[in-house]
């Protein structure tokens, strides 16, 4: 599924909107894509109140003011001065502009957690993503040298507007299957033995089947495996799980609920060989 989506996004030259639960690897997808294409990853982390000046460009006002003070002496052409301080040297490139102006090869532009930015920013993003050109009044229009590969991620804390959604291809990442998760553990934490990886995988899968407020993602699985490796554990046991539960379950109610009821049975189930 993921491979198809990335393949289509690359061949159709469209941004890819990735949604899914926290910790399933949405951001990782962009990072891996950049590594695969051997290009730069430019990341724009969205947050509420993110505006054009933080996302696209801003003038370096402090520097401009200094320059003006230095050139205070008479004799300097005002027009030349203006040209100077509104030149590229005084421009602070923010992620979006950098993604467009990168000269070497198309970069991967990761617009992370786009659901956190507000509607107004979304509309602006739409404009940039459709034309890949921006206009800076003092400089003129800047066109993209190479159209970047764009990955947008969303945690669905807000519905993404239809217009933006239509402009992208869409990928919903689900939690991995047991087999895939064990393979991920092996790939990312090679120090973990096959027995530990298998048991951790089974345990986490069983956890996700329960009604939890915050089901663990792959990120949690990996953290936990690393913690267990650090503790020199080669297999799960109830005591260790209880001590390290904070790596997987990051909600107090989830923890207490699990500790009371099902911890030992879940551990036993994970220990059982198929």
Partner 1 sequence: MSALVAHLARFAGSLRVAGVRVSLSDEIDAAQALSIVDVTDIDEVRRALLVALKIQARDRAAFEQVFASAWLGRTAAPRHGRQTVRQRSTAVPRGLQWRGAEAAADETPGDRTEGGTPGYSPRAQLRHRPFDALSPAEIVAMEQLLERLTLRLAAEESRRYVPTRSRGLIDLRHTLRRTLATGGEPLALARRARAAELPRLVLLCDTSGSMESHTRFLLCFAIALRRVVRRLEVFAFNTTLTRLTPWLAPGKINLTLKRLAEGVPDWSGGTRIGTCLGDFVARYQTACVNSRTTVVILSDGLDRGDVEEMVRAMRAIHARARRVIWLNPLLGDPRYEPSARGMQAALPYIDRLASAHNLESLERLVTYLAA
In terms of CB distance, is 32 or 86 closer to partner 1?
86
Q: Look up tokens 């505006």; give the residue.
A: 51
In terms of CB distance, is 61 or 194 closer to partner 1?
61
How far apart are CB 14 and partner 1 at their closest, in Å?
Answer: 7
How far apart are CB 146 and partner 1 at their closest, in Å?
Answer: 20
How far apart are CB 135 and partner 1 at their closest, in Å?
Answer: 16
In terms of CB distance, is 68 or 231 closer to partner 1?
68
Q: Check: CB of residue 169 under 8 Å from CB of residue 14.
A: yes
In terms of CB distance, is 150 or 228 closer to partner 1?
150
d(CA 250, CA 221): 12
Q: Where are the alpha helices (DSSP H) in the chain?
A: 2-12, 26-37, 52-55, 61-70, 78-85, 95-101, 119-131, 162-167, 178-188, 194-208, 218-230, 238-244, 252-260, 263-271
In terms of CB distance, is 155 or 271 closer to partner 1?
155
In terms of CB distance, is 38 or 48 closer to partner 1?
48
Q: Check: CB of residue 251 under 8 Å from CB of residue 212.
A: yes
How far apart are CB 42 and partner 1 at their closest, in Å?
Answer: 23
How far apart are CB 62 and partner 1 at their closest, in Å?
Answer: 8
In terms of CB distance, is 253 or 265 closer to partner 1?
253
How far apart are CB 172 and partner 1 at their closest, in Å?
Answer: 5
Residues in contact with 244: Cβ distance below 8 Å, sequence separation at least 6, in sequence order: 224, 227, 228, 231
Long-range contacts of 31-37 (CB under 8 A, 24+ apart): 31/110, 33/6, 33/108, 33/149, 33/151, 34/107, 34/108, 37/105, 37/106, 37/108, 37/149
How far apart are CB 213 and partner 1 at their closest, in Å?
Answer: 6
Which residues contribute to the site for partner 1 (CB under 8 A)? 1, 4-5, 7-9, 11-12, 14, 17, 19, 47-49, 51, 53, 58-59, 61-62, 64-65, 68, 118, 120, 155-159, 162, 165-166, 168-172, 211, 213, 253
Helices 26-37 and 2-12 pack at an angle, to 10 degrees, of 60
Nearest Cα neighbor of 132 from 170, 154, 101, 94 is 101
φ/ψ region of 156 (left if φ > 0, alpha if ψ in -120 to 50, else beta) reads left
Q: Check: CB of residue 17 under 8 Å from CB of residue 85.
A: no
How far apart are CB 261 and partner 1 at their closest, in Å?
Answer: 12
In terms of CB distance, is 172 or 240 closer to partner 1?
172
């Amino acid at each position: 599924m993921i491979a198809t989506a990335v393949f289509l996004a690359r061949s159709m030259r469209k941004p890819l909107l990735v949604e899914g639960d926290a910790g399933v690897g949405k951001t990782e997808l962009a990072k891996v894509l950049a590594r695969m294409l051997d290009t730069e990853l430019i990341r724009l982390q969205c947050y509420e109140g993110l505006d054009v000046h933080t996302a696209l460009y801003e003038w370096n006002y402090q520097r401009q003011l200094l320059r003006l003070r230095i050139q205070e002496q008479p004799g300097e052409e005002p027009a030349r001065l203006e040209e100077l301080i509104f030149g590229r040297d005084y421009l602070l490139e923010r992620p979006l502009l950098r993604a467009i102006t990168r000269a070497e090869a198309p970069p991967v532009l990761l617009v992370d957690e786009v659901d956190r930015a507000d509607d107004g920013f979304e509309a602006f993003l739409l404009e940039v993503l459709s034309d890949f050109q921006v206009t800076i009044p003092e400089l003129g229009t800047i066109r993209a040298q190479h159209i970047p590969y764009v990955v947008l991620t969303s945690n669905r804390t807000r519905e993404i507007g239809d217009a933006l959604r239509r402009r992208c291809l869409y990928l919903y990442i689900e939690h991995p299957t047991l087999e895939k998760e064990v393979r991920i553990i092996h790939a990312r934490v090679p120090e973990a033995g096959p027995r530990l990886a298998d048991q951790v995988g089974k345990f986490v899968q069983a956890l996700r089947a329960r009604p939890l407020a915050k089901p663990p993602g792959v990120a949690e699985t990996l953290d936990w495996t690393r913690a267990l490796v650090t503790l020199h554990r080669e297999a799960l046991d109830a005591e260790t799980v209880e001590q390290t539960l904070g790596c997987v379950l990051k909600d107090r109610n989830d923890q207490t609920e699990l500790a009371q009821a099902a911890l030992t049975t879940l551990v036993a189930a994970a220990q059982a060989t198929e």
